[in-house]
Structure formats: C-alpha cells, structure tokens
Structure 1
Amino acid sequence: MEFLTIFLVVLSFLVWHVLRSNLRRWRTGRLPPGPHPFPIIGNILQLGENPHQSLTKLSKIYGPLMYLKLGSRDSIVISSPDIAKQVLQEHDQVFSSRTIPAAAAAYDHFKKSMAWLPVSSQWRKLRKLCKEQMFSLHRLDASKGLRQEKMKKLCNYVHDCCISDQVVDISEAAFITSLNLISATLFSTDFAQFNSDSSQEMKNIVRVLLANGGLPNLADFFPVLEFIDPQGIRRKTKSYMSRIFVILDDLINQRLKSRSESLDHPVRNDLLEAILNHSQASESELTLDVLKHLLLDLFIAGTDTTSSTVEWIMTELIRNPEKMSKARNELWTVIGRNKQVEESDISRLPYLQSVIKETFRYHPPAPFLVPHKAEVDTEINGYTIPKDAQILVNVWATGRDSSLWLNPDSFEPERFLNREVDFKGQDFELIPFGSGRRMCPGLPLADRMVHLMVAALIHNFDWKLEKGMKPEEVDVSEKFGLSIQKAVPLKAFPIKL
C-alpha cells in the first residue's frame, strides 16, 4: 500500500510537470521539426544505447535542427556546422549557460564548477586562473620538460614489454601517462605507476564519474524527480567524488603544512601552488572549497578524454597498417630514429597532425560536447528555440556527414593534408573541443599531450595483435558516456624497430 501511494504521488508529479511543460510549448512559436513524442516520456525511447548514433539517423529524416521532447525537457539537436556556428558563435551569449545534470548536484558541484557555472564573475575568475596558471603559452613551454619525462617513462614501459613479450593495454598505458601528466602539472606528483594496481582505483573513479554524467537519468528527463534520485546516480557520484576529495584534501593539507612550517619552503611550479597563493590573497573571492572543485574538474577532464583519444588513434593506425607506416616514416625522416620527439617538432609533422585531426572527426571524445541551454526564446533558421531548452551539438554526426566529407566512414588522414581545417574552434565542421566562450580551456595542453603520446607509441615500435588477429578484426564498437569509450579495450604486443 505504501509503494502504491508513492507510485501515485510520483505519477501525479510527472503528469503535472508534463502538462505544464506542454502548455508552455503550445505558447511557443514554431518549433524545429522532430519525431512525434509519446505521452509523458516523450522521445526517450528513441535515444537507444548510443544516442549520438540514434540522433544522427533521426537528423537525416528531420533535418540538422531537430526538436525532441525528452521527458519534460525540451531538447534541440544540432547536426550541421552552419547552425552550430549560429548557436556557439553568433548567439554565444544567449546559449552560454549549461543544462545541469542531476549528478552535478553532488556536493553542490554545479555551484562551484567551471564546467557547470553560468557565465558569471566567478566563472570568469576560474577560467582566467586556468588560462594564466596552466594553459598559457608561457606556462606550457615552462612545463614541457615534465611532459618529456612522462613520454620517456611511457617509452621505457613499452620497451620493457617488448623484451618480456608482454601485451600492452593501450588504454591503460595512455591513462597512466595522462593521469601522471595531469597530477604532476597540478600537484608535482605521480598518481600511478606502470605494472601497478595503484592506477586502477583512480581509473575506476574517473570512469565512473564520467559514466554517471553520461548515463540516461530519469532525474534529468524529469527534474521534478531530482530529490528522489530514483536510479541512485547522484548518490553514487557523491560517493566517488568523496574519494577524490580525500586525496585532494590530503595533498592540499600537506602543501599548506609545508608552507606554514618554513618561510623558505621549496616553491613548486604547479597549479596547486598558484591556487593556494590565489586563495590566500586578501582580494580573492574564490574560496579554497571552490578551487578544490576546480582541481576536480581539471583532473577528471584531463585524464580520460586524452587517454581515450589516444586509444582510438592507435586503434585506427593498427587497423590501417599503411597509415601507421606513413606516420612512422614521417617521424624517422623529420626527427630521426633515435631522438625523442619534442613539442617544437609537432609543427613539422603534418601527417601526424592529420592523423589526430582525422581521429577527432571520426571519434570525437565528447559526441554532444557539454550541453548548452537557451536563456531566452531565440529564433534560429526560422524556428524558435524555447527558453531553457537543452542544446546538443552532435559533433559525431557532423564528422560522419557525407555532404561535408568524402568517404566519411573511412579513416583517411590524407583528407587534411590539403585542407585548411583545424580543431581550435573556428572551423565548425571540426569542433571536438567546442567553440565560443564555453570552449574547453584545456585544448592547448590536450593538443600537445595527444601528439606526444601517439608519437612515443609509434616512433620506434610496431604493434602486433593478440592471437593472430587481423587488423581489420579489431573491434571498434563504442560505449556511450560524456566521452565515447572503446567498448573493448585495445591490447597489442609492441615490436622494437
């Protein structure tokens, strides 16, 4: 009887919420075309296990500007560069806010996170801090030795696997390297070691948090259910966030203790030192708690997306041995066989750059970017985008559009050798990091990390698949989340050249 009462209350809430939402829709102007929604649930069932693929198919029926009703939430799906440019650049201010997932309510993360905050004074301060202390050209050049050190460790690990005839889990190796690059940049310490279980917990935490952010959540489709948290996603997110906060608190307390015990304590050239200096400045409006959430954002975003991108690149190169040889021959010709690739060499490696661009086109790390939100009713291409609508920019669909790309379902880096297209936010057919004021601030660091890591893995190594598997048999199925993971991890034996 108690269950029935709860069920009826929840159902009443849903019906009221949907009727209220539909009433507002009827008062709105001409909405973009889209599939007819079912009562109450709307178009939820049409998302499928891989929404980026399902919505790409629907956009071929209803067009590149499409309206969906996901539960009680108005959603707009954009699948063309021209419309993406209007939303992210021409109407940037109107669409600069975020649709907040229920999972971000854990520890009030959405009130402190640079990723979820609206464009505001606090958001600008956080972004400025990141740009000046971590992602500026000066800072990146100053820390390039750190990245060279991590690349050397990666090469040594792969070399040891060659000697012992040990298979390499590319995802794991790329994750550990990314993890240590970020942890060293933020805290001057490595969080994991190769051939150690120390990375497993951190990898699990990062992947669970990202997966929770991308899981279909009833509380996101029906915000009225947020306080119930019917799938327990917010509770699980809070649990995993607390584990990271324990680590961050320990690092912060150790650094504060070191600073307080001696006036001539060793000064670390990392982001934590800059953050502590900033938080202790009398004019600072950013509390240490807010800055801790910033560290969480940087830590999560900087590890998984980079490592998954490297895994996809290696997957495509192993599936296409002639592309692998072409990229390696370029490295041998430009760099030589016994010299480690440096960041200053990247601009002299056009084919390697084309491989990375092609992977961003074919396997964008965030298929819908981070969802935007309309602040007011806005007209785009003769249709009304209603206030509070969620905006999904389907960059996965753009990358597979045959009107934009010849042979879009083939991995062809050569397409970029004679095409002036980059992924820095100005060419809207290739915006894996977004564009406009909400563009990913970590792009300059990710750009360097991905190029260096791929170069390290192919420069003096060839790769042989397990159990005599043929290159074309490598699994390329996807696992959807805030970032697209490879469903089956890539494992291969390195061969020293």
Structure 2
Amino acid sequence: MYEIFASHLFIIQSALFSLFFIILSFFVGNRWFRKTVGKKWNLPPSPSRLPILGNLHLLGKLPHRNLQSLAKKHGPLMLLHLGSVPTLVVSSADAAKEIMKTHDLKFADRPDSSVNRRLLYNCKDISVSPYGEYWRQLKSICVLQLLSNKRVQSFHFIREEETGIMVRKIRDSSRGVVNLSGMFVGITNDIVCRSAFGRKYSEGEKGERFLMLLKEFLVVLQGNTVGNFIPWLSWVDWINGFESRMNKVAKEMDYFLEAVIQERLKKGQEIISTGAGDNFVDILLGILMNNNTTGVSIDRDSIKAIILDVFVAGTDTTATVLEWAMTELLRHPAVMKKLQDEVRGILKERQQITDDDLEKMHFLKAVIKETLRFHTPIPMLVPRIAREDVEINGYDVMGGTMVMINAWAIGRDPDCWDEPEKFKPERFLNSAIDFKGMDFKLIPFGAGRRGCPGISFAMANNEFVLANIVHKFDWELANGVLGKDLDMRERPGVAVGRATPLLAVATHRVVE
C-alpha cells in the first residue's frame, strides 16, 4: 500500500513540478512577456500558437517551404514563437535589405545554441561566433590567406587536376550509371582539402570513414534540440538519444581534426613558426605558435573550429549547387544544349578550360545564378539575432528576437521574378543582378557583415567543374527516366540537396 501511495505521490509531485516550471518560464523567465507588459508594441502578424510548443509544429522537415506558405497568409514579416523563442521570419527582398543592410549591425549576432556550442568548439568558428573583434580577426585571416581572389586564382591547378581525375572516372564508367551526387561531394571535398590543407582526406578506407563522419556531422548540426526552444524540456534530448549522438560525432570529429594538426606539426614546427608553411593550417598554427599576434585569443580549439568551417562550408554547399544545376540541365535538354554549345564554341578544339575562358561563358554564369535562385543551397541562411530593439518596415522587433531569412522564398517571389517557378537561366543574360550581397532578391550567400566570405572560392569551383562535364560528355538520365518524371524531392540538412542521388549516363565526346 505504501509503495502504491509513494508512486502516486511521485507522479503528482512530478506533474506539479513541471507545471511550476511552465508557469515560471512563461511569467518570470520569459523576456518576451516581461517586455510586452506596460508598453504598446506594433508586432508583426503571427499565426496562432499552441501552449508550450508555440509555432514549432509549423516548421516541418523543410521549413523553407512551410514558412513560404505561411508568409503568403501572414505577410513577408511574420512573428513566430518557437517554444519560448520569438522568431522573425523574413520573406521579401525589401525586408531582407532592412535586416542585412539598413540595420545590419543591429542583427550582426548569431543565436545561442547548444548544438553550435558542442559541435563548433563553443562557437569559436566564423559562421556562428558572436560579432566582435574575435570574429573580425578570424574572418580577416580566412579571407586573406584562403578566400581572396588572388588566392582562389592560385588554386586553378588544383581544380584542373581534380576535375581531370573526375573526368577519367566518368569516362571509365563506359556508359554505365554515374552517381553524380556522390561524385560532386568527392571532388568538392578534394579541392577544398588540397587548397586549404595541402592534401586530400577522401582516399582509401580512412577517407570513406571521414566522408561518412562529415555527412553525420552535417545531419546533427542541422538538428534543433528541444532544449534550445523549451529549456525546461532539455531532458527530452537525452531520452530521444540526440545528446548522445551529438557527443559522439563531436568526439570523433575532434579526434580527426587533432590528427590533421598533428600531421602538420610533424612536418616541422620550425618551418611553421617562421611563417614558411605551405598551406592554410600551417598559417593558423604559425599564429598560435607565435603567441598570437592578432590581438585576440586564438587557441587550438579556434584553429579546429576554423578548419571545420572550411571542411563543411567548402564541401556541402558547393556539391549541392552542382547537384541541382545538373538536375535542371537534365530536366531541360534545350538548356543543356545551349550551355554545351557555348562552352564548346569558346574552346573549339582545346580541351583545357582556363579562367579567361570562364569569363566569356555568360550562359554558364546564368545557369549557376538560376540554380542559386531556384535551389538556394541554404534556404533559410544562418539565423541572426536582434542585438537591441529596432523597427523594421513599421513593425517593432524586440532585442533578443531570432531572425530567419527565407532566401529560398525570396528567390521564388513573384513580386521579384517573372515566372518564378520556372527554371529560366535566360533571365540573367541581360541583367545586372548578382549574388554578392547587393541585390536582395538573390541572396544565396547572405549579405552584410555576416555574408559568406567564400563566394569567390565556391563560384570558381562551380563554374570550372560544370563547364568541364558538359564540355566533355553528353548526358541523359539513367534507367530511361524522363526529365518530367525525375524525383525532385528535397532532403533536409544544412544544405538542402536531393532526397535521392542524381543518377545519369555519360557519353564521352570525341573531338575530331
């Protein structure tokens, strides 16, 4: 009898304890509630919300699509409540310009996240570190030593050699089926690793394990823990196994990154310390070994976080753009032929593509721009957070509000684009619109202070690889699939790629 009573008492106590925290988090800990009391705020429109969850249930597996539908009903500035986190969703070019240009400094910070803290070395990387001198120094180092136009041009021989390897693999398929999705991940990772670290990490059994680890890392990085939005429910992340999964991948990635550093140190600490190292990791280690002359605290974890940024950003997004570009070319044979005619016409009998050749390929650039518009690789960009109260397009946005910019929805906005649901590269042939952060209806790389610093690096890889494979091969979908029947479903992730691999058959073009 006593055991039954004690069991019931424990249940009652647990229920009361949970109820207490619900009430406490809403009435006491909820900054949103405290700030709205006693002042009239003109807040953006909001969909109705559930208790505790708020609007979390509305995101779904592909938030960019669900939020686009909601914006059609509630407007281009929409306030959601993701658990206890107020979130502004931006779905128009004008509003995006307000966030990333007019009030850029007020939105220069990133939201705090337990996932980012665990996987990105307590947010010591470039993408999510707080705005300030540390972030500025890290970005400056990366741009100067790896991502400047001069450095990107110097990597042409790497792009050429790795693309040549890929072409031989395709040719050796002997009209067999080519998994283009897997091939694009491989080549982009190899180019990034050779450019930044002086060697590839994808070869052999260890290489396969590394690529699998990178894939798992990206899946976990994209995950949103319950605790980030409803702190008193953080225990759910332990029960559903997410915390264990996150800790495992963090440990394995740290082990790999430590091995990268140790490998470079074995090459010669004296060479590195004098600044004579021959790659990006050497330069970072040289800064660390020379007692960090940058003026900010850069430690070993900082170096690992930066290396991780290069691995992730340089591989996933670039491979995704190539995957979607070839998907659309295979679905639109007339567009494929027009691109092949341009590339082959410029090269004539030559086989090697130079950077000067790429500058003349205007339709190639239009195809990539249209791919970035139609299949924005990171549809919601990286979230920002309001550093203070600010007014956006007549609405009040409170400090601490998370901001999600739906670049994918802006890329399909009929107010910005003619026939936005059609893949039409021609729209860019007589247009000055670019993706470098000045035209806010095309912002695949973001804009402002927190815009992606690797645009030149990414585009050089995209253009060179795509030009080569359409120049040297004729393509058709595998297994007799017609373009109109191709599976176009998306898979969730940091970069949103195809749900199924892109399979195609290549016929090598023989130049007489």
Asked if the contact 2:271–2:277 (Cα under 8 Å) also holds between the matched residues in 1, the reply is no
13, 27, 38: which one aligns with 1:19? 27
Q: Are 2:179 and 2:501, in contact at CA under 8 Å, matched by a contact in 1?
A: yes
The TM-score normalised by the length of structure 1 is 0.94
* Contact 1:148/1:342 (8 A) holds in 2: no
Between 181-190 and 245-254, the greater mean CA deviation after superposition: 245-254
Structure 1 residues 266 and 85 mapped into 2: Cα distance closer, same or farther (>3 Å)?
closer
Q: What is the match of residue 3 of structure 2? A: none
The equivalent position to 2:354 in structure 1, one of 314, 317, 342, is 342
CA drift at 1:264: 12
What's the offset of the Cα at 1:8? 5.4
Q: Which runs of 4+ in 1 moved over 6 A?
A: 261-266
**5+ unaligned residues in a row in structure 1: which ranges?**
none
Q: Which residue of 2 aligns with 1:272?
A: 281
Q: Is the 8 A contact 1:434 1:440 kept in 2?
A: yes
Determine if contact 1:49/1:480 at 8 Å carries over to the other structure. yes
Describe the SS at the equivalent of 1:130: helix
Residue 457 (structure 1) shift: 1.7
Cα deviation 1:285-305 (Å, max 9, x = unaligned) = 311221111111111111111
- In the other structure, the counterpart of 2:180 is 170
Farther-moved stretch of structure 1 (65-74 vs 211-220): 211-220
Counterpart secondary structure, 2:493: coil
Task: State the superposition RMSD in angstroms.
Answer: 2.3
2:329 corresponds to: 317
Alignment match, 1:399: 411
CA distance in 2: counterparts of 1:134 and 1:65, whole angstroms: 37
CA distance in 2, matches of 1:486, 1:188: 30
**Residue 86 of structure 2: aligned partner:** 74
- Distance between the aligned counterparts of 1:412 and 1:179, measured in 2? 29
Instruction: Name the residue aligned to 1:389.
Output: 401
* Contact kept? 2:370, 2:428, Cα under 8 Å: yes
Aligned to 1:236: 245
Structure 2: how far apart are the matches of 1:3 and 1:275? 55
**2:219 matched to 1:207?**
no
Seen in structure 2, the aligned counterparts of structure 1 residues 320 and 8 have a Cα distance that, compared at 3 Å, is farther
Preserved contact between residue 388 and residue 400 of structure 2 (Cα < 8 Å)? yes
1:94 match: secondary structure = helix
Q: What's the offset of the Cα at 1:373?
A: 0.2
State the shift of 1:85 in Å.
Answer: 0.6
Kindly indicate whether residue 256 of structure 2 is the aligned counterpart of residue 247 of structure 1: yes
Please give the secondary structure, in 1, of the residue aligned with 2:107.
coil
* Matched residue SS, 2:505: strand
Q: What's the CA shift for 1:105?
A: 2.2
Residues 7/439 of structure 1: CA separation in 2 closer, same or farther (3 Å cut): farther
Question: 1-side partners of 2:136 and 2:424: how far apart?
Answer: 39
Identity of aligned residues (%): 32
Measure how far apart 1:234 and its partner are: 4.1
Which residue is 2:493 aligned to? 481
Give the deviation of 1:410 after TM superposition: 0.8
Q: Distance in 2 between matches of 1:440 and 1:262?
A: 31
Amino acid at match of 2:337: S
C-alpha distance 467-141 of structure 1, shift in aligned 2 (>3 A): closer
Write out aligned runs for 1:41-56 (5 A). Answer: 41-56=53-68
1:127 pairs with 2:139: yes
1:12 to 1:267, Cα distance in 2 relative to 1, 3 A: same
Q: Do the aligned partners of residues 23 and 172 (structure 1) sit closer, same or farther apart at CA in structure 2, a change above 3 Å counting?
A: same
Looking at structure 2, the residues matched to 294 and 235 of structure 1 have their Cα atoms a distance apart, in angstroms, of 24
**Within the alignment, does 1:90 sit opposite 2:102 as a pair?**
yes
- Structure 2: which amino acid aligns with 1:426? M
d(CA) in 2 for partners of 1:42 and 1:414?
A: 43
Is the contact made by 1:99 and 1:390 (CA closer than 8 Å) also made in structure 2? yes
Give the distance between the partners of 1:135 and 1:257, measured in 2 at CA.
26
Contact 1:103–1:233 (Cα < 8 Å) also in 2: no
Deviation at 1:420, TM superposition (A): 1.0
Tell me which amino acid in the other structure corresponds to 1:246: Y
Change (3 A) 1:203 1:337: farther
Q: Residue 365 of structure 1 corresponds to which residue in structure 2?
A: 377
Bigger mean CA offset, 70-79 vs 37-46: 37-46
